[in-house]
Each structure stands twice: as C-alpha cells, then as structure tokens.
Structure 1
Amino acid sequence: MDDRASKSRGVTRVLLIEGSVNLLMSLVKLVIGLITQSSVILADALHSLTDLANNFIAIVAIRISHKPPDHTHPYGHQKFEYVAIFILAVLLSVVAFELVTYAIDNHGQVVEQSYTGLVILILAIVVNFALSRWEHSQAQKLQSKLLAADAQHTFSDVLTSVAVLIGWQLSALGYYWLDTVFCLLVAGFVGKLAWELFQQALPVLTDADVTAEQFSSAELKVILAEFPDIKNVTDIRSRAMGEQIICDLTLLINPQLSLTAAHELSHAFEDRLKQEFDLYDVIIHIEPA
C-alpha cells in the first residue's frame, strides 16, 4: 500500500513538472507562430497543448490506477493507466488529422523571419530534450509504463521541433511551400507516435494473451519435472492487468491423490509459478489425468 502511494506521488510530481514545462512551451511556440505566420510553428504549438492535456489525463489516471482492489474492481485499478495511454493516442490521432488539414488550408502563406524567435525555439528544443531524458530516468526508477510512454512522447516532441525549426527557416528564405511540407512531416511524427501508443494500450485493454511472453514450453517442463503427480498442464491463458500478469490453467494430476493432496499440490505448483515468473495471480483448475 505504502509502495503504491509512494509511486503514485512520484509519478504525479514528474507529470506536474512536465505539465508546467509544456504550458510554457505551448505559449512560447504560439507567440512565435503568430508573429511569423508559420503554419508549422503553430502546428507544433497545438501539439504542445495536447501534451498539456495528456499530463492532466495522466495525473488523474495514475491516482486511480494506484488505488488498492475494492468491491467494484477486485483485480485492482491498474488498467486505468492504459486507458490514459489510449486517450493520449486518440488525442494525437486527432492532432495529426488537424495538422494535415491546417497545412493544406494554409499552403503558400508568407512566412516571416524572427531571430529572437529562432533563439527561443532552439532553447525550447534543448529544454524538451533534457526533460525527456529526465522523465525517462524517472520512469525506470519508478517502474512506470505511463511515464515511459510519456517520455517517448516528449522525445518525439524534440524531433518534431527540429523539423519545425528547419521548415520555418527554409520557408523564411522564400521557399514557402516547404512550410507546408514540414507541417505534414510533423503530422506524420504525431501519427506514428499515436500508432505506437495504440499498440501498447490495446493488448492490455482487450485482454490479449501474453503467455508466450511470460514463459516457454521448455521452462514449464522444467517446473513440471519437480511435481511427479502432475502429468500435464493444459488450457494455459495469461493476461495483463497493467503491470501485473494473471494466468489460469488446467492441471492433469494423478487420479489416485486424495482431494486434500490434490489441493495442496495445486497450491505448491501455483507458488512455484509465481516465484519463477513473477505472476500476480494463478487460477488453477484440476482434472484427473
């Protein structure tokens, strides 16, 4: 309980710091974009605003996901963390679509140069890069997949901002069509990130089987050799509840065993699986071999 509360506070602190930085970044980019009339900078400002929205969603989700199991969620609330990742992916998909629309509608618009804005945007890139590295280290320290996903998102912002900077400078030299091209590139970056986050969240939210990722047949046979009265294991299924894995299976056991002995055997096998594969829960069905 204390570990969950401590982890929740740590993740929330990181998200609050990142949210403050994202608010500052979005305002800076918005001002520079309005001054220079660069669609690619305005697009990046919109991207930063979605980062801010995601920080708010993530803070709410992380507080819920670290609550202990209760009568409405007996398996815990860990999936709320992946709900937040899914919402982030949806938001990014909408942003990617809006960026494509904005780039097409503003094709050929005159772009102004601003050396002050150039310096500020470079500083913003440096700050975002430092933030992404720090958030990544905090994700490893706190063992948070939500923070890891967000750190990946923040690093993509750095790559996006570099593309924005290049597109803006080339457009300011008179190649106005490049502003549209780089705005579309930004949309591509955002869309790719959305797809990666969908791939991360959907298997957990849809209870995809993760047995192959947890243990192989060879590893299972080694453990079975320790239990002569277990003749085989069938119907193995596993699913992720956030960072915790729940497995259910059927044991074919020696039919000569008493009910008490069979019960004790299943518990011993369950404990062995939990110890070896770091499983949160194992549900066992017993049948005579």
Structure 2
Amino acid sequence: MDVELRHIRAFVAVAHHRSFTRAAEELRITQPALSRTVAQLEKILGVELIDRSARRIGTTRAGREFLGYAEQATSALEQGIAAARKDITIRLGFSWLLPDPWAQRAVTRFERGTGASVALVRCDDPLQALGERTVDVAVVRGEVRNAPPAARAVHLYDETRVAVCSENNALADRDRLDWSEVPSWPLVVNTRSGTTGPWSFPAGRGPEHIVETGNFDEWLESVAADRGIGIVPEVAQRRISHRAVRFLPLTGAPPSAVHLVHVPLAQQDLVNRFLDAARTATER
C-alpha cells in the first residue's frame, strides 16, 4: 500500500479540526492540496474516511476506527524523532541580554516541539561567530552590518530605546531626553554589537564626540565613568543593576530592530523550526 506520512497527517488534522480550512492552516498548505491528499488516502484504502454530507464535516465509522491507529502512528513517529534529536543542539549566539520574555518563550516552544535543545552562546560579535560556524543562529539588534556571505536575516520586532548616563552626569536629574538632544552629548558606542552609533544619524548630524568600546561590559563601565551617555533598548533598564548609572526615557527615538540571522546549514530544517518558534514567541 502506498500510504504516506503526509496522507496520515492530513487526515488526522481534518478529523481533529473538523474543518479543511483550519487543518490546512495548521499544516501550512492550501485547502485544495489538503482535500486532494485526503481523497488520495481514501482511494488507497478504498473507504470514505470523512463525512462531507453534513454542514460541519466529521468522520465516518471507518474514519473513526482508522483515526485511532493514525494517531498512534503519528505519536510514535514524533516520539522517535524526539529520541533521535535529543543530542542535537541549536547554538543561539547573542552579545548581551537576550530579549525577554521572547527568548524564554522561543526556547521552550522549540525544545518542546522538536526534542532538540538550544545552547545559549554569549559572544562579543554574534555575526562573526556565525561566519565562523560557532553558532547556528545569531540575535542581532539594530542594523545587520557585516553579515557573513549568504546570511539571511529575519526581523522579529522592534524594541524601545532608553538613554543611560552616569549618576554624576548633568542628565541624571532630568526626567527624560529627546532624540534630537543626543548629538549634543558625547556618545559611548559599542562598535561590535551596539544598537546606536554614528550610523544611527544622518551624515554630519550625529554626535561630535564618540567614545568607542568593544563589548557591552566596556560600554556599561564607560557610561558609569561618565565618559559619555549611552542609548540602549529598554530591556537593559529592567535587567541591569549598576549603582553608578541612571536610565532616562528617550522621546522621539527611532525603534531598535531585533533580527535573527542565520546561514543555511545541513540541519536547516531544525533552524527553520527555531525561526518558527521565534516568530510565534513574539505574539502577545
């Protein structure tokens, strides 16, 4: 018999949803393609499995009997896949402070859905790590610059920016800062993975004085030492506890994009599954 896995999955989805439309959405195929697949299965078995005569479709007696076996088959296959993948790991590279609660949602959804695991890899330059193949997916905030050849970027969502200054800075007593005022202050920039720098302003209209740092820790300590102010996504305000810095709401600032960047790999199917989980995790 030429029954294939796609036939089984199509029938189970229709039987569960009692709707070709919702089943097609779950399987990410068109409704006509789904209808043809179920009809092929019925032709192979020589029986009708779906009762299409009522307003809301259901299963025939043969369909209900077959459904139990079909569910056992798909369940056993999923368990087998999970067992085979238990030692497979997707390496997620990030430079500082993974977005929350997105990261926790994405990792949990992916691991539960695939049986594979996610290793969190902290690196100063996630795009460099991606090019060196020491990570499989890179979290990149702001513009995607100097990505490896053939890299693909997926935009997840935008983060709100806030300003950061030393407790000794004149801004520490302010209740907010406007984006138009930023060029008036020395700006501390993380040149490897920062979200705000000279590139964030039109040519000739950015800050005159730039203090360059090579990673997030250097950036934070430079701001604390009052070498200049910093601009970061607001997640930093929730997660950083540093007695020598102050956070200010930043009005009029452009949003900071969060991307996932990857280079097609041999295990691209799992990477795609992680990207799907990541997109879903952005939904509120």
Smaller-chain TM-score range? under 0.3
Which structure has greater helix proportion? 1
- Of Structure 1 and Structure 2, the greater strand share is in 2
> Scaled by the length of structure 1, what TM-score is found?
0.26
Task: Say which structure, 1 or 2, has more relative contact order (CA 8 Å, 6+ apart).
Answer: 2
